[in-house]
Chain A
Amino acid sequence: MSEPIQLLGKAAVLETLGDHAAVQAIVAWNAEALTDAKFDFGELTLTIAPEQIRAACFTLQGAGYNFFEDLTAVDWFPRSPRFQLSYLLLSLAMKQRVRLRVMLEEASPAVESITPVWAGANYYEREVFDLFGIRFEEHPNLRRIMLPDEWKGHPLRKDYPVEGYR
């Protein structure tokens, strides 16, 4: 197998993948909101400023990324910013994916809900809220989904032990 292409940083991605539909749409909408980008293992990741995520999703939905596939979070404890949200969008027409990344600080992590863009994000946002404790503003029903309502803590955080809890 040939050596896979790896592009790290906003400048490198803009230069080489400037004609990628997602890159074009984001740059045309608001190049400032794109804080970082990478192309690694054949997958494009665009880092979006946290307060712009809903608008970015609307933009990409308009650009043909019509299917919301996945949302999850990563806890980079003890690094700062601590939390990463990964949104995965799929275009049924162009047959390609793009990942949006949002980095959040440890103190009261919150981001706008994207349920107005895709109603299907509802459960995924509840799952992230439940297991990571990241809040989604204007979510229609932000409650725990996997764990009981009275559960304490957020199990997928790195400072939550795998065993020996309680």
Chain B
Amino acid sequence: MANPAGMPVLEPAEGARDQHMVINMGPQHPATHGVLRLVVEIDGEIIVRVYPEIGYLHTGIEKTCEAKFYHQVVPLTDRINYLDPLANNLCYALAVEKFLSLDIPPKAQWMRVLLAELSRLNSHLIWLGTHAMDIGALTVFLYTFREREDILRLFEAISGQRMMTSYIRIGGLALEPPLDFLDRVQAFIRTLPEKIDEYSNLLTGNPIFRNRLKGVGILSAADAIALGVTGPPLRASGVDWDLRRDMPYSGYENFEFNVPVSNDCDCWARYEVRLIEMRESVKIIQQALDGMPEGAVKADAPKIVLPDREKMKTQMEALIHHFKIVTEGFAVPAGEVYQGIECGHGQMGYYIVSDGTAKPYRVHMRYPSFPVLQALEVMAKGRMLADLVAVIGSIDIVLGEIDR
């Protein structure tokens, strides 16, 4: 800096230059999206180290699963990633179905895809609203939560629950969706692209939003792969990988969609990738609505799938099966399986070890927010403290799935 008019220059005291300050961000901080505590070492306002301290939400869900029957685990899965509930249900159900070699009827598969995409939209809408709010663009939050409310109403219509749906079960769906459900989804999908334009109009051209995100939080493709980063942050780092397309599950091979990839590697790229992903989800839901097959929504496996309420009350066989499943569960062949799916935040996976009894011997969940925290330091190092808020927003974490 120039020294106008011979003002005395204040030099820092001897040794002061070497002193870093350590501050705590969180665990109660609105920008950490939950109870995440970051121990940040700063030099002036420049970040030297970021050390995430987690576990505040640890409830031992993996241990709890070991004491439950297979079908009793389904409601636990919702509570892990509460912003993307149906993806959790889907991943667990697919993993158990892999053991049982169940044939899932086409309608159930298409409904699962439709619901998983609605759930992804739900997750992305919350991310967009909160991320923009962290940066200071408050308005978008109100808009995205308006649409999220519509999605929650749809969830409520099918399952009676707004967030903890437990609607996708082992062997299909919990029950038939209501008659007007597909029309309601259609009405929602028809208006959503305009709404996404609306968010884009508010943010994409907004110079404050742009400057806070562009060039911030750089994560190279090599670092992303080494650190186990998946989902939109991985694709924003230029790696063209999406499990829905590359290792399809639950009938995703029947759908056409693009996988957005960006080579910019920064927070802005993550914003753009997610925005395009929302539009692609709308396309997938439209295809699911257009081609929705007729038929049952549960597999024909009376010893595994609970009978319809109506049958249970009128038929002796169904009542016996119902009683058996509820009181004794069902045995699953011994072995180990892993099922990965692409949820809103990235790659989710369930690893289940069975010892041949009716309770899982071990359930482990691989959730995308857990490894992505390791990339936080890489992305924030050498940047200003305020950029940390933008970086945390851009990786879209849910603390429920980190701590489990």
A binding-site residues for B, Cβ under 8 Å: 1, 4, 40-43, 45, 66-70, 72, 74-75, 86, 88, 92, 95, 97, 99, 118-124, 131, 144-148, 155-156, 160, 162
A95 in complex: contacting residue of B101, B239, B246, B370, CB < 8 Å: B246
A102 to chain B, nearest CB (A): 14
B-chain residues with CB within 8 Å of residue A70 when the two chains form the complex: 338, 349, 351, 364, 366
CB closest chain-A residue, reference B53? A145
Bound-state Cα–Cα, A43 to B336, Å:
9
A-chain residues with CB within 8 Å of residue B351 when the two chains form the complex: 70, 72, 86, 88
B373 touches A123 (CB 8 A): yes
B210 within 8 A of A: no
Give the top 8 A-B pairs by smallest Cβ distance, nearest first: A120-B228, A72-B364, A120-B227, A146-B55, A146-B58, A70-B366, A162-B67, A41-B337
B binding-site residues for A, Cβ under 8 Å: 54-55, 58, 60, 62-64, 66-67, 98-99, 101-103, 225-229, 239, 241, 246-247, 335-338, 340, 347, 349, 351, 353, 361-362, 364, 366, 370-371, 373-374, 403-404
Bound-state Cα–Cα, A124 to B103, Å:
34
A69 touches B228 (CB 8 A): yes
B55 touches A118 (CB 8 A): no
A120 touches B226 (CB 8 A): yes
Bound-state Cα–Cα, A43 to B353, Å:
13
Bound-state Cα–Cα, A1 to B97, Å:
12
B95 to chain A, nearest CB (A): 10
A67 touches B361 (CB 8 A): no
What are 28 inter-chain pairs, A to B, with CB distance below 8 A? A1-B102, A41-B99, A43-B337, A67-B228, A69-B228, A69-B347, A69-B349, A70-B364, A72-B351, A72-B364, A74-B336, A86-B351, A88-B366, A95-B247, A97-B338, A97-B340, A118-B226, A119-B226, A119-B227, A120-B227, A120-B374, A145-B54, A147-B55, A155-B60, A155-B63, A156-B62, A160-B63, A162-B64
Bound-state Cα–Cα, A88 to B360, Å:
19
B184 to chain A, nearest CB (A): 34
B338 touches A119 (CB 8 A): no
Chain B interface mostly: mixed
B-chain residues with CB within 8 Å of residue A123 when the two chains form the complex: 370-371, 373-374
CB closest chain-B residue, reference A127? B370
Given contacts A69-B366, A86-B364, A145-B55, 7 further A-B contacts (CB under 8 A): A43-B336, A74-B362, A97-B340, A99-B338, A120-B371, A144-B55, A162-B63
Bound-state Cα–Cα, A113 to B27, Å:
29
A162 touches B99 (CB 8 A): no
Bound-state Cα–Cα, A145 to B51, Å:
12
B-chain residues with CB within 8 Å of residue A69 when the two chains form the complex: 228, 340, 347, 349, 366
B365 to chain A, nearest CB (A): 9
Bound-state Cα–Cα, A42 to B62, Å:
24
B-chain residues with CB within 8 Å of residue A120 when the two chains form the complex: 226-229, 371, 374
Bound-state Cα–Cα, A162 to B349, Å:
24
B74 to chain A, nearest CB (A): 18
CB closest chain-B residue, reference A163? B67
A42 touches B98 (CB 8 A): yes
B381 to chain A, nearest CB (A): 14
A146-B54 contact, Cβ under 8 Å, with A70-B366, A123-B373: yes
A147 touches B226 (CB 8 A): no
B228 touches A68 (CB 8 A): yes
Please indicate which of the listed interface residues B228, B347, B351 has the most CB atoms of chain A within 10 Å of its own CB. B228
B-chain residues with CB within 8 Å of residue A92 when the two chains form the complex: 225, 239, 241, 246
Bound-state Cα–Cα, A51 to B63, Å:
29
Bound-state Cα–Cα, A147 to B229, Å:
24
Bound-state Cα–Cα, A43 to B95, Å:
12
B240 to chain A, nearest CB (A): 9
B73 to chain A, nearest CB (A): 14
A-chain residues with CB within 8 Å of residue B374 when the two chains form the complex: 119-120, 122-123
A41 touches B98 (CB 8 A): yes
Bound-state Cα–Cα, A162 to B371, Å:
27
B-chain residues with CB within 8 Å of residue A156 when the two chains form the complex: 62-63, 362
A99 to chain B, nearest CB (A): 7
Bound-state Cα–Cα, A54 to B340, Å:
24
B239 touches A86 (CB 8 A): no
B-chain residues with CB within 8 Å of residue A118 when the two chains form the complex: 226-228
